[in-house]
Structure formats: C-alpha cells, structure tokens
Structure 1
Amino acid sequence: MAWTPADIPDLTGKRAIVTGSNAGLGLHIADELAAHGADVTLACRNLTKAEQAADGIRKRTPSASVEVRALDLADLDSVAAFAGGIDGPLDLLVNNAGLMAIDEARTPQGVEMQFGVNHLGHFALTARLLPLLLATPGSRIGSMSSMGHRGARGPADPRLERPYQRWQSYFQSKLANLLFTAELQKRLSAAGASTIAVAAHPGGSSTDLGTEGSGLINRSISTVVPLIAQSAEAGARPMLRAVTDPAVRGGEFYGPTFVFRGSRPVRETPSRSARDAAAAARLWATSVELSGLEPAITR
C-alpha cells in the first residue's frame, strides 16, 4: 500500500526540531509532526513569520505543542546559541532549511552562502545536538536534499576559490547533504548507536525557494513553477516518511514517485557521486575544519 501521512504513528512524547519551518516544506513537516502528537520546535531566522506559522499550526491542531526559537544557519555563532538552549531528550532533527541559486554571498565565517546554510550550518547543528540525539533511543536525523544533487559536477567550492556559479553551488550543497548523511550513518552504525541518519527530496515542489536570486531562471520561478510543480504539502511527504516510518533504515533516501505531481514517497537510489565513500569522508573532514566541530559519536 502507498504510504501517506495517515501512516505516521502516534508521536506523543516525542520531541522534534525542524529548521526553516516558517513556510514551505518545513512548515508542512512541522504541521504533520505536531498533528500526530510531537512537541515541535520551529527553528527559524525570521521570528515574525515563524510565530505566524506556529499560530497556524495551533489553529489547525488546537492540542499542538509548538514553540519558536531563533536560528540563523548562516552564522555558526547563532547555531551555537540555539543548540545551547536545547535540553534533551530529542527524537527528531529535521535539517530542512535551505537556499537555492542565490546571488554570490558569504556567511559571517566567510563560507559560500549556499554551502554554508544548506550543509555546514546543519553539520554544526547536528554536531552540537548529537549528544541529545544519541541519548534518545531510536532518534533520527533527516537531511533535505534535492533531485538537483544529480547535477553536481566537480568538487564543492566552500571558500569561493573559483568563479561563482549559482546553480552548481546549489547542486553541490545538495550533494553534500547526501554525502553527510552517508558518512554520519556509517559512523553511527560503527558506534552501535540506535540513532539513524536519513535523507529525502521533495521532487518539483512549489515553494518560494529560488526566488531570492537575480538570475534569469530565478525571476521565472515564481510564475512557472506553480504551473507544473506539486504542492509543498506533497513535497514534504518523503521527509515525513523518512523520519517517522518504522520500516525506514539508516542511510536511506526518499523522494516522490514522479518529479512533478508525484505524491507517493518511495525509497530512491541517489547518484553515484552521492554514494562515493571517499568523497563523503573528505566532506566530513572539510566540514570539521570549517566549523571547528568534530561530532562525537559514541555508544
């Protein structure tokens, strides 16, 4: 039978953090988790929009337990401050927030912005919250990738040592999400941890992602994508399955049946580049160097 959000088990007593959950995919993920009983933290940069999103969740589910906390994934100091305010237990960390094909920019720490937000900020967040996740039996770490990871060519350029290419930078950051998931799961398995790392992608979904940039494609996204893409609600389902389905195993990757209008989430095989163990190990080392954090994975 096809998996649907109705198959999400009772999450009462579970705690979840969803980044970038004031709109789009993240909002729908947070909404469903809260509707099924989880205590959900909306981890967002824009607190005004996040509070509005939280109010909407409470209206749809009066019994929902939802809070808002400030998190700017571009700034590793903000990541540290956010993580420092979180107490255990922690059952679900959904690394969802992202940028797509923005104009050239750097994070406060000097890292290319898309790599910094889409991957490095989540790497640092995971590293800082890992002790809580490891102490919570059966916890999960979900990272939102993209079908665009298949378009990544050549090595990532987090220090902007080459001419900036907005789409390649985006593709590389989404490939990084999958390489990170693979290496994290490898280390979790080696440590005998019950925590698992999983990944998902939304296919072609109608959100405001990609509208921030000034490129030609960016300018057309807001008019073209809504005509051909599925809803953000449908795009959220692969991640919801990845982080809640009891049958999911560590390292698995989920996406919609079809790129557009395909709302049934199924297991996928990522690109060959995303299955490169050596590349995953190199990314891990680079992430440790750029963040100054080495995730401690022990039983």
Structure 2
Amino acid sequence: MYTPSTPQQPLGSGFGAASTTAEVIAGIDLTGRTAVVTGGYSGLGRETVRTFLAAGARVIVPARDTARAEKALDGIGDADRLQVWPMDLLDPASIDAFADRFLATGDPLHLLVNSAGIMAAPLTRDARGFESQFATNHLGHFQLTARLWPALVAAHGARVVQVSSLGHRYSPVDLDDPHFERGAYDPWVGYGRSKTANILFALALDARGRDSGVRAFSLHPGSIAGTGLEKHVDPRMLKGAGMLTEDGTPVLDPARGLKTPEQGAATIVWAATGPALDGHGGVYCENCDIAPYGPDLTGRTSMAQSRRLYGVQRYAVDPDTADRLWTLSERLLGLTFATAATA
C-alpha cells in the first residue's frame, strides 16, 4: 500500500463555488495540446470541450452516436481542432478500436477527461453481465485509460480527470458483489458505488503514474439540471431536494452546488489545467479546490441530505481499497494496466 503524495485538504486556490470556466482558464494556453473528453457532446462535458477549444487545444470526443454528437457540437469552436470518433463505453472492442486509432497517430495525449456517465439507471446488464452503472462509469473508463496509457506517458506531463459526484456518499464500492449478482439492486446505491470507484481509480492511478509524469484527479462538479444525466430521476425527487422549483425550473445556488454549466465545468477545467495543481495528484476536488474530508456518513444518505454536506468520504480515498479495486478491474476486464509502477 502507498501513501498519497498530496494531502486531502484545500490549497486556497482563489476560486470558489461560483467560479466559471472562463475564470479558471484565464491566462492558460493549451495550443499544441490534445485532449480526449468522454461525454463531451452534452452538459458539463460539452462546456469542458468548448473551454479547451477556446484555449487552443485539439479535442477528440468519443461518442456512441457520432451524428448526434457532431450535431450537438456544431459551431462550438474551431472545427479544425475538434473531432468526434466512435466509441461505446459498454463495448470493450469499441474502446480498443478508439485507443488503437489514437495510438496510431503517434500523438501524445495531454488531457484525458473521463466525464461520460449514467445515473440511477434501472438494473440493466451489458453483454458480459456487468451492471451498467459500474460498467459505464468505472470499468469503461478504466479500460480506456489503460489503452491510452502510452500516449499519456508520451505527453511528459499529462492529467487524467475522473468526473465523480457527491453521489459517492451514497455507497462505498462492493468489491465482493460489484454487479448486484447476490444483493438486491438499488439504482442510487449502484450510482454511489460507481462514483466512489471513480475517486478510488484516480487515487490508484496517480500513485502508479506520477513517476511517468501522469497525474490523476477526481471531483464533484456540482449539480446542473437539464444535462440529461437526470433522465432516470423522478422530478419529484429533484423538487424535494431543492434542485427544481414546483414549475420545474432549475434552481441556481452555487453555495449548495446548484450551478450553471459554466460553473459546474469549472472544477473539471481547473483539475485538468490549473497550475496550482502542478506537482499534486490523487485528490478529490470540489468548487475549484481540493476538498476536505466530509463528515462520516452511516447508512443511506438522501439526495437532499447530501446536498447539505461537503467533502469526500474517507472510504473513497482509502489506498488499500483503491488497490483492491484496481486488481478487481483488471480481472473483470481481462487486462493488465502496465504503468511504470506495475510493469
């Protein structure tokens, strides 16, 4: 087991809950850098792509439906620096094909933002029998990052950003029953497990990648209604949590994590590009800064309760659990993630 190199405590970044992507990217030039942003054609991912393009980066957006993605991204920035390539996070062969295509270019990969995800979905399983939230939100991104690893190392200073959520507070990972094959399925518990897995993956990846110049971060961006992520959620629940008014209008209150896309994506952009994080890694961030530890939670935490809390649960940044999840992920996917620390 390893000791995280960066303390899980705020840096005093100078930014906050209401900071926007324009504010955190100010003065940062991404010319000559390449980024891959999963989920980059909607919601926070789309705003992240727009911001990277505005700062001069070349951006590749993987998408299951490329026509839909291209339409959503039309006019977002310099078309010469934006590409949409096919990929499905539930299809291992398509992930390999995407990575092979990228590696064949010989280009380094400077920024990998793993933003795509599903939330509180009914129980569905992929062709392998894997529960869809764990498979999409964690395992698909684990495989993608593993396959793109040579390009990340070639950047000589890459960052991998795992977009997690306050939803990690709903549940630790269950390493013995990750796909609800024995226990009863609960969509919010499934979501919580997958979001905790995002944080643990960033912790383990940073420990293995830092000697190769690859640093990893996880974060909660805030909650933004209307992105499509909430399509499986009963609007009455969102109203009860204070996220929607009675007529269905999204509530904006950055102090409670209820943000615009520009505010929500700011923490993603800060984690990917912020100079304050140079030399740091493996930490969970909120509101454009490293988050503190949150109060320990026991039992099921409701959406409304979670919104009044802050910080990261200690079970989500436990190095031993991160190592065990890494081993489980390799076994489930049938691959060896050969970083310098494990090669």
Does TM-score exceed 0.5, indicating one fold? yes
Q: Which amino acid aligns with 1:267?
A: I
SS in 1 for 2:340: coil
Q: Does 2:337 align with 1:295?
A: yes
Residue deviations 1:96-120 (CA, integer Å, cap 9, x gap): 0000001110122211000000000
Match 2:290 to one of 261, 267, 282:
267
The CA deviation at 1:217 is 3.8
Match 1:14 to one of 21, 33, 57:
33
The answer on whether the counterparts of 1:45 and 1:71 sit within 8 Å (CA) in structure 2 is yes
**Other-structure match for 2:201:** 180
SS in 2 for 1:172: helix
Q: Which amino acid aligns with 2:326?
A: W
**Other-structure match for 1:82:** 98
The CA deviation at 1:227 is 2.7
1:114, 1:296 → 2: CA distance? 25
The CA deviation at 1:64 is 5.8
The answer on whether the counterparts of 2:29 and 2:55 sit within 8 Å (CA) in structure 1 is yes
The answer on whether the counterparts of 1:54 and 1:68 sit within 8 Å (CA) in structure 2 is no
1:242, 1:8 → 2: CA distance? 15
**Other-structure match for 2:295:** none
1:178, 1:12 → 2: CA distance? 29
Evaluate the alpha carbon distance shift between residue 111 and residue 266 of structure 1 in structure 2; reply closer, same or farther with a 3 A threshold. same
CA RMSD of aligned residues (A): 2.2
The answer on whether the counterparts of 2:173 and 2:194 sit within 8 Å (CA) in structure 1 is no
The answer on whether the counterparts of 1:102 and 1:210 sit within 8 Å (CA) in structure 2 is no
The CA deviation at 1:46 is 2.1
User: How do 1:222-237 residues align onto structure 2 when only pairs under 5 Å count?
Assistant: 224=248, 226-228=250-252, 229-237=258-266
Alignment size in residue pairs:
286
The CA deviation at 1:224 is 4.9
Q: Does 2:191 align with 1:170?
A: yes
SS in 2 for 1:57: coil
- Structure 2: unaligned runs, 5 residues or longer: 1-13, 253-257, 293-311
SS in 1 for 2:289: strand
Q: Does 2:336 align with 1:286?
A: no
Higher Cα radius of gyration:
2
Residue deviations 1:126-161 (CA, integer Å, cap 9, x gap): 000001101111111110000111221462543321
**Other-structure match for 2:224:** 205
Q: Which amino acid aligns with 2:152?
A: L
2:166, 2:157 → 1: CA distance? 27
Percent identity, aligned pairs only? Answer: 38
The CA deviation at 1:215 is 9.3
The answer on whether the counterparts of 2:25 and 2:51 sit within 8 Å (CA) in structure 1 is no
What's the TM-score, normalizing by structure 2? 0.78
Q: Which amino acid aligns with 1:149?
A: H
2:335, 2:171 → 1: CA distance? 26
The answer on whether the counterparts of 1:75 and 1:109 sit within 8 Å (CA) in structure 2 is no
**Other-structure match for 2:130:** 111
SS in 2 for 1:160: coil
SS in 2 for 1:21: coil
Match 1:99 to one of 118, 121, 131:
118
Match 2:270 to one of 234, 241, 251:
241
The CA deviation at 1:232 is 1.9
1:218, 1:74 → 2: CA distance? 28
2:64, 2:75 → 1: CA distance? 18
Q: Which amino acid aligns with 1:288?
A: E
1:6, 1:89 → 2: CA distance? 21
Deviates more, 1:234-243 or 1:207-216: 207-216
The CA deviation at 1:193 is 1.4
